[in-house]
Amino acid sequence: MKHRLKKVLMVLVAVWMVVPLFVPAAAADGTQHSLNRYFQEAATEYEVPVEVLMAVGYAESRWNDHQGKPSQSNGYGIMHLVDNPEQQTLQAASRLTGISENELKIDIKQNIRGAAAVLADIAKEQNDGQLPQELGQWYTVVAEYAGYKNDYVTKIYADEVFRLIEEGVQRKVDGETLVIHPTTVHPEKGAYQDVEIPIIGGKADAPFVRWAPAHSSNFTEANREADGNNIDTVVIHTTQGSYSGAISWFQNPSANVSAHYVIRSSDGEITQSVSTKNIAWHAGNWSYNVRSIGIEHEGYVDQPGWYTDAMYRASANLTRYLCDTFAIPRNRDRIIGHNEVPGATHTDPGPLWDWNRYMTLVNQ
């Protein structure tokens, strides 16, 4: 009896030791992704240059699929297939590939395939049924893929994608290294060539900002500066989407949100969407909206790599300027995260945001 018990125990121990060794191997076989392979296969299948496909993915998500969770403007996956009243690349991808919208949202491989199908479809539509021969001819295709209504916000997006192709990108995603090799390209911008992206500010110590006004239904007109300096707080946000995506979303009448400023991750470029005299809808708390200025930072709360040095510096400069202009004390009581607004349901800017570093820069 004792002997049999010992034998059973030994078998159990043996199983316990072997099983953990086998489980990861089996899981790796079934679920490990190769983004390089997915990009290459989708590019080949739909005859889209792999640089274009990868650069669009990088601009949208830094090649992170966010486990199927939507962006602020309801875009999904690495390629940000969008499902909102003004923009429908998710539906188009489903129609072109025969894959369900739900699968396109959550399956990384199909998300990339779906985007390739949409890009190829736009390309053919723009070129009498033919695919472009030159890399630079994909500029207007990328522009249309963005699906924005405003020409200069679209230009910001397509310029960014082609900058990535021109300068190249290297990034490790889940242990896999993805590379866009720097490629000389001459974007044929078509109608976007002459689109001007307005710049305001730059006077005295006001930072240079681009101006892309939000839709009038997404903020409240006010006269805050003349009302006797009733602005006393700066609220720090994360876009949960791309820079141009956030700017465009604020121009979308179905958004019902806005912020005064949006800052780009790659270089700290700032776009203003709402004048500081008006009340942007960003804090989710009316009394805070009324007295605050909202600054959005390109990125996702749970994804490292978006909060760059360039973005911290640009944002800190802007906040310092706003504090000086509106006599806002430069401390953490008055410069707060969205998550610190009473009743906030949002967690941005999240634990990856380096408050010590930020406040040091603000007080420099």
Listed ranges 52-60, 272-280, 322-330, 341-349: which one lies at the site for Zn ion (CB under 5 A):
341-349
Backbone angles phi, psi at 74, to 5 degrees: 65, 45
Query: 45, 296, 298, 340: which one is catalytic?
Result: 296
Tell whether residue 348 is a contact of Zn ion (CB under 5 A).
yes
Query: What is the smallest separation between the CB atom of 282 and Zn ion, expressed in angstroms?
Result: 6
Pair 110, 86: CB distance under 8 Å:
no
Cα separation, 339 vs 347, whole angstroms: 5
Q: Is the CA virtual torsion 171, 173, 178, 184 positive or negative?
A: negative
Cα separation, 188 vs 202, whole angstroms: 30
330: three-class secondary structure by DSSP = coil
Query: What is the smallest separation between the CB atom of 237 and Zn ion, expressed in angstroms?
Result: 3
Tell whether residue 338 is a contact of Zn ion (CB under 5 A).
yes
CB of 52 or CB of 341, closer to Zn ion:
341
Query: What is the smallest separation between the CB atom of 76 and Zn ion, expressed in angstroms?
Result: 20
Tell whether residue 124 is a contact of Zn ion (CB under 5 A).
no
CB of 158 or CB of 262, closer to Zn ion:
262
Listed ranges 110-118, 155-163, 168-176, 330-338: which one lies at the site for Zn ion (CB under 5 A):
330-338
Query: What is the smallest separation between the CB atom of 348 and Zn ion, expressed in angstroms?
Result: 4
Query: What is the smallest separation between the CB atom of 251 and Zn ion, expressed in angstroms?
Result: 18
Listed ranges 149-157, 191-199, 203-211, 343-351: which one lies at the site for Zn ion (CB under 5 A):
343-351
**CA distance from start to end of the chain:** 77
CB of 165 or CB of 336, closer to Zn ion:
336
Total of chain residues touching Zn ion, rule CB under 5 A: 4
Query: What is the smallest separation between the CB atom of 232 and Zn ion, expressed in angstroms?
Result: 18
Tell whether residue 80 is a contact of Zn ion (CB under 5 A).
no
The Cα angle at residue 341 between residues 337 and 347, in degrees rounded to 5: 55
Cα separation, 241 vs 144, whole angstroms: 18
CB of 155 or CB of 338, closer to Zn ion:
338
CB of 210 or CB of 338, closer to Zn ion:
338
Pair 270, 208: CB distance under 8 Å:
yes
What does the block give as tokens for 285? 């708390």
Query: What is the smallest separation between the CB atom of 128 and Zn ion, expressed in angstroms?
Result: 44
The Cα angle at residue 269 between residues 287 and 145, in degrees rounded to 5: 95
Range list of H helices, the chain: 2-31, 35-46, 50-61, 89-97, 101-106, 108-126, 139-146, 151-167, 243-250, 286-291, 309-326, 355-362
What does the block give as tokens for 102? 């739900």
Q: x/- contact string, 288-327, with Zn ion (CB under 5 A)?
A: ----------------------------------------
Tell whether residue 260 is a contact of Zn ion (CB under 5 A).
no
35-38 LR contacts (CB < 8 Å, sep 24+): 35/63, 35/78, 35/108, 35/112, 35/173, 35/176, 35/178, 36/176, 36/178, 38/108, 38/109, 38/112, 38/113
CB of 80 or CB of 237, closer to Zn ion:
237
Q: In the annotation, is 296 catalytic?
A: yes
CB of 193 or CB of 347, closer to Zn ion:
347
275: three-class secondary structure by DSSP = coil
The correct pick among 33, 189, 346, 357 for binding Zn ion (CB under 5 A) is 346
Q: x/- contact string, 43-62, with Zn ion (CB under 5 A)?
A: --------------------
Cα separation, 54 vs 355, whole angstroms: 32
Between residue 178 and residue 237, which ones bind Zn ion under the rule CB under 5 A? 237
Question: What are the residues binding Zn ion (CB under 5 A)?
Answer: 237, 338, 346, 348
Active-site annotation, residues? 296
